[in-house]
Chain A
Amino acid sequence: MNDIVLKAEGLYKVFGRGADDAVKKLRNGASRDELGGATAAVIDASFEVKKGEIFVVMGLSGSGKSTLIRMLNGLHPQTAGTVEVGGDSITGVSPAKLREIRRHRISMVFQHFALLPHRTVIDNVAYGLEIQGIDKAERLKRAAKVTEIVGLGGWEEKYPSELSGGMQQRVGLARALAADTDVLLMDEAFSALDPLIRREMQDQLLELQQELGKTIIFITHDLNEAMYIGDRIAVMRDGRIVQIGSPEDILTNPANDYVEQFVQDVDRSRVLTAESVMRKPRVTVHEGSGPRAALAAMREHEISALYVTKRDRTIVGWVRDRDVLDLVRKGEKSLTPAIQSDHGAVSKDTPLVDIFIPSLEAALALAVTDERDRLVGVVPRVTLLATLGGEPEAATSAEPVIEPLPTDVVDKVLGASSTKGDA
């Protein structure tokens, strides 16, 4: 499934006099400060949004992201470039056609909710349907359903001023959902909410998106929010899109210093998954191979335990060198009696924050499996620490833990010095 729902190409927005000239200058490589009186808010923005995707545009205030999103539904006419929604161009069309597209294709959720204060919740939710010309009984029925979905059942006849901020934004969301458009524009939709409510709304948005399969374009200045809800993120700076990529892409391969600086403060443990930090397991054995082979492998790699898999690499468990040694001494031909099944493997899309404890509980580097339980990698504890520190490569140069001296040696020395003292 690779349907492009929304496509923006070479979008420019310049405010002030001589806008067209300014675009020409920018195309010829002029910088934003060389435009004289004109102010370039968006410069050469191109991107495609796929059906059912959450596309996040992230940037600080003044980066042009709010202007950009308003060009996607024509609230701000573009200075140059094109926007297509569902195959129809919204640039250079008549106002009537533009209204038609806004009614049926693309709806919007606003930062400060933008509810009609003189209308009840249900009438606000039904607003888009009312403009679409749907008769009253039908639109109230549909609005009631959506109000229920966003969790505002029982509040239908209240006025916006009687609701908390989070609930008001649910109304804003319900209004956009009720219009039943394919594309949802969300302009800093959760930025005005306090952190706890924001988290709740993010979770709800993800849930709704799973359920309804809407295509969402979400604007935010909060990188953590972008990383949490975005399938793909476009990072904006000074009117330009500097990088488009998945959250992990942006975190691990920042396109330039700006993005790198930006992602420094991100809570990596919530964005990165086991898959992105795991290493190839150094060595494993098949359950069919005997204790001797297992012991030889451990000796060769100087390790004291390893994972046991089936032929198709499905994880079975792990073995310890002492247990295998016992088997070899007893002359056992099968490895099975030594296998311990509490391998504690995690799936590869587990966020790092959830693998700390499993990693502590595992006897060797934590096993990572795919959706069919096959061993695809391991996460040593050093790697985990190095990743959180922002430099995964550091893991390779990690100093080994210094082993304490054997107790009997220390005892001997201590014993000797104490007798000397007594003498």
Chain B
Amino acid sequence: MDIRIRVGDWIENFFDWLEATLGAFFDGLADVLDAIVGAVEWVFHTPPDWAVILVVAILALLARGWKFAIGSAVGLLFIVSVNQWDNTVESLALVIVAALLAVVLAVPLGIWAARNNVVSAFVKPLMDFLQTLPAFVYLVPALALFGIGIAPGVIATLIFAMAPGVRLTELGIRGVDKEVVEAGEAFGATPRRILRQIQIPLAMPSIMAGINQIIMLALSMVVIAGLVGAGGLGQDVSQAIASLNVGLGFEAGLSVVVLAILLDRFTASFGKGMGLYAAWSKRRRAKREDDEQARIDAAQETVGGRRATGVGATA
């Protein structure tokens, strides 16, 4: 007895139908994605490489400090010296666009799931599915719908990278101290206001970790996307595989590593209070607080002086 379930056929039929009915839409989407990625690439590609490296190093200094600045400059110079600059810029543009789209989809979805148990019950298995399905498998339908090029790479990447963003956003918002949320409710705040003023700010570390994960997964997927003609470092890696070119493989691979470290450290530093920028804003904040305190003190003096002094003793 033949009990084979024709899952493959059903899925194929589904995608055939999708292409037949929405083909024009996917073609249009592909053009838009091509254009966006092209624009981002242009930004990095137009100036000479040394200028881009300088700007990145300065940003690194602001974000994390001088060690990271030197590290990133050295890393990028290495990429230039192994002649992978063009590929790296292409990959970077793809990662930026795919990760941005993934964040735009994942964070609101995570928030929705955190506030609605039914949504959560649907989203959880879906995310399990997206995260565990072998990455190559995404590429097949993406190719079928968008044809060879950058667009299938972006789509496959954003679907693959979304999951941790959704999960960590939901986790972060659900993990916000229940009492603080209750405080918002007890004072009569609307759910929207509680989300904006309490839940999102307090879940920020977790959401940022999710965004960091999105970017890292996007980078790993971008290399795989090289197989479908998305260009960039992935293209050289797949070429190296095809021609057993160990040297080329390593040059492209090491460039991926440099790019990965750069992206990870940059995104991990947001809101951690490191680097020059954090030092500046800290000083500015302290000054503003002092001014504000002085103003309040002055106002109180005129009202009739302090009532209780030496409260600090209770600390």
Taking CB atoms and an 8 Å cut-off, the chain A residues in 99-126 that contact chain B are 99-104, 107-108, 110-118, 120, 122
What is the CA–CA distance of A70 and B187 in the complex, to the nearest angstrom? 13
Instruction: Of the listed stretches B190-198, B207-215, B249-257, name the one at the interface; the rest are far from the partner chain.
Output: B190-198
Knowing A111-B179, A112-B179, A114-B182, say if A127 contacts B314 (CB, 8 Å): no
Q: How many residues of B contact A (CB 8 A)?
A: 33
Interface status of B299 (Cβ within 8 A of chain A): yes
Interface status of A153 (Cβ within 8 A of chain B): yes
What is the CA–CA distance of A74 and B309 in the complex, to the nearest angstrom? 38
Knowing A102-B186, A102-B188, A122-B296, say if A155 contacts B311 (CB, 8 Å): yes
Interface status of B24 (Cβ within 8 A of chain A): no
Q: Is the beta-carbon distance between A102 and B185 smaller than 8 angstroms?
A: yes
What is the CA–CA distance of A115 and B186 in the complex, to the nearest angstrom? 12
Interface status of A144 (Cβ within 8 A of chain B): yes
Closest to A129 in B: B187
Q: Is the beta-carbon distance between B314 and A154 smaller than 8 angstroms?
A: no
Q: Which residues of B contact A151 (CB under 8 A)?
A: 307-308, 311
Closest to A144 in B: B296
Interface status of A293 (Cβ within 8 A of chain B): no
CB-CB contacts of A158-178 with B at 8 A, as 1s and 0s? 100001101100000001000
Interface status of B315 (Cβ within 8 A of chain A): yes
Q: Is the beta-carbon distance between B180 and A73 smaller than 8 angstroms?
A: no
Q: Is the beta-carbon distance between A131 and B188 smaller than 8 angstroms?
A: yes
Interface status of A60 (Cβ within 8 A of chain B): no
Q: Which residues of A contact B187 (CB under 8 A)?
A: 102-103, 107-108, 127-128, 131, 175, 179
Q: Which residues of B contact A152 (CB under 8 A)?
A: 311
What is the CA–CA distance of A144 and B311 in the complex, to the nearest angstrom? 15
Interface status of B128 (Cβ within 8 A of chain A): no
Contact partner, A131, options B179, B193, B299, Cβ 8 Å: B193
CB-CB contacts of B273-309 with A at 8 A, as 1s and 0s? 0000000000000000110110011011001001111
Q: Is the beta-carbon distance between B201 and A118 smaller than 8 angstroms?
A: yes
Q: Is the beta-carbon distance between A108 and B183 smaller than 8 angstroms?
A: yes
Interface status of B202 (Cβ within 8 A of chain A): yes
Closest to A106 in B: B186
Most-contacted residue by chain B among A120, A151, A163 (CB, 10 A):
A151
Sort chain A's interface into a size bin.
Answer: 35 or more
What is the CA–CA distance of A198 and B98 in the complex, to the nearest angstrom? 54
Interface status of A388 (Cβ within 8 A of chain B): no
Knowing A115-B180, A153-B308, A155-B311, say if A107 contacts B186 (CB, 8 Å): yes
Q: Which residues of A contact B182 (CB under 8 A)?
A: 70, 75, 108, 110, 114
Q: Is the beta-carbon distance between A75 and B186 smaller than 8 angstroms?
A: yes
Q: Is the beta-carbon distance between A144 and B183 smaller than 8 angstroms?
A: no
| Majority DSSP secondary structure for residues of B touching A | helix
Most-contacted residue by chain B among A101, A149, A156, A158 (CB, 10 A):
A156
Q: Which residues of B contact A117 (CB under 8 A)?
A: 202
Q: Is the beta-carbon distance between B315 and A114 smaller than 8 angstroms?
A: no
Q: Which residues of A contact B296 (CB under 8 A)?
A: 122, 140, 144, 156-157
Q: Is the beta-carbon distance between B300 and A144 smaller than 8 angstroms?
A: yes
Interface status of B140 (Cβ within 8 A of chain A): no
Question: In the complex, how many angstroms separate the beta carbon of A150 from the nearest chain B beta carbon?
Answer: 8
Q: Is the beta-carbon distance between A157 and B186 smaller than 8 angstroms?
A: no
Q: Which residues of B contact A158 (CB under 8 A)?
A: 289
Question: In the complex, how many angstroms separate the beta carbon of B189 from the nearest chain A beta carbon?
Answer: 5
Q: Which residues of A contact B12 (CB under 8 A)?
A: none
Question: In the complex, how many angstroms separate the beta carbon of A390 from the nearest chain B beta carbon?
Answer: 35
Knowing A116-B197, A153-B308, A167-B314, say if A99 contacts B289 (CB, 8 Å): no
Q: Which residues of A contact B186 (CB under 8 A)?
A: 73, 75, 102, 107-108, 185
Most-contacted residue by chain A among B186, B190, B290, B315 (CB, 10 A):
B186
Interface status of A197 (Cβ within 8 A of chain B): yes
Q: Which residues of B contact A163 (CB under 8 A)?
A: 315
**28 interchain pairs (CB within 8 A)?**
A73-B186, A75-B182, A75-B186, A100-B188, A102-B187, A103-B187, A104-B188, A108-B182, A108-B186, A110-B182, A114-B180, A114-B182, A114-B183, A115-B183, A116-B180, A116-B197, A127-B187, A131-B188, A144-B296, A144-B300, A148-B300, A148-B306, A149-B307, A151-B307, A154-B293, A154-B312, A156-B293, A164-B314
| 7 A-B pairs with the lowest CB-CB distances in the bound complex, closest first | A103-B188, A151-B308, A102-B188, A157-B289, A114-B183, A114-B179, A108-B186
